[in-house]
């Protein structure tokens, strides 16, 4: 039997990078996948690839900073597949490495709305569904930037620390009611998250000063396999924690 047979999984930011790899792997393991992202054409490409491979997927346009979009995403999963077993809050943005004295209100609000508000909205709606069915796994994609202070700018670092805190709180609160909530803290991964980035030179210089100690870059499918472990029953005793996947970078 496949690891996610007959389970329904929502993955945000699923049209590219780690989210796309998760969507494809989860579908291959039997899940009904809700592919949520910003652009319909990119969503359709992922959905079509999954269905052509014999998997089940449905696309939803969703800006995770918009609470109405999040509600539509959750409602679509229930309407289409009747259950919600796995929620992966993967969508996120960087902050161009800006130090705090140069962070504008616009940048602060944008990063926090996507990296923190979005997962909060989704968790708030998903938990009652999971409570009713007595089971569920929530996976928040944090970062080693949520564990340490020097991997990104002030806003991104704050947002990922907040996401780690939300993860631990949810994991503990509902541990006796069948819901697990964990986070993955990736190190450097080859994705398109840096596309269009215009880094602050001072902040970038400070944050990359330890890059030489990074053993290697990771690949999206490596993070997807980590997410699969947390999504399925293989990790039944893993809850309220952060699984670091960085090739050993922070061990230095």
Return the active site residues: 156
What is the C-alpha separation between 195 and 229, in angstroms, rounded? 29
User: What tokens appear for 91 in the block?
Assistant: 């969508």
- 105 burial class (0-12, 13-18, 19+ CB within 10 angstroms)? exposed
Contact status, residue 157 vs residue 145, Cβ threshold 8 Å: yes
Q: Is the dihedral of CA 68, 70, 73, 75 positive or negative?
A: negative
């Amino acid at each position: 039997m496949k690891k996610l047979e007959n389970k329904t999984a929502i993955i945000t930011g699923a049209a590219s990078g780690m989210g796309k790899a998760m969507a494809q792997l989860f579908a291959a393991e039997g899940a009904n996948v809700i592919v949520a992202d910003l652009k319909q054409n990119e969503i359709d490409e992922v959905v079509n690839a999954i269905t052509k491979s014999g998997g089940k997927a449905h696309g939803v346009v969703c800006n995770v900073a918009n609470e109405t979009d999040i509600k539509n995403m959750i409602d679509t999963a229930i309407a289409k597949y009747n259950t919600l077993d796995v929620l992966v809050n993967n969508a996120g943005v960087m902050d161009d490495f800006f130090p705090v004295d140069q962070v504008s209100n616009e940048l602060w609000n944008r990063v926090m709305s996507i990296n923190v508000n979005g997962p909060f909205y989704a968790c708030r709606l998903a938990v009652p569904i999971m409570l009713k069915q007595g089971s569920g796994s929530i996976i928040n994609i944090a970062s080693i930037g949520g564990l340490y202070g020097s991997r990104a700018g002030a806003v991104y670092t704050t947002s990922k620390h907040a996401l780690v805190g939300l993860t631990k709180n949810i994991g503990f609160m509902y541990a006796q009611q069948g819901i697990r909530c964990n986070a993955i803290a990736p190190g450097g991964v080859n994705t398109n998250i840096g596309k269009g980035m215009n880094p602050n030179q001072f902040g970038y210089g400070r944050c990359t000063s330890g890059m030489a100690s990074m053993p290697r870059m990771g690949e999206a499918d490596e993070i997807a396999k980590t997410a699969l472990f947390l999504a399925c029953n293989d990790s039944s005793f893993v809850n309220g924690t952060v699984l670091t996947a960085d090739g050993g970078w922070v061990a230095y």
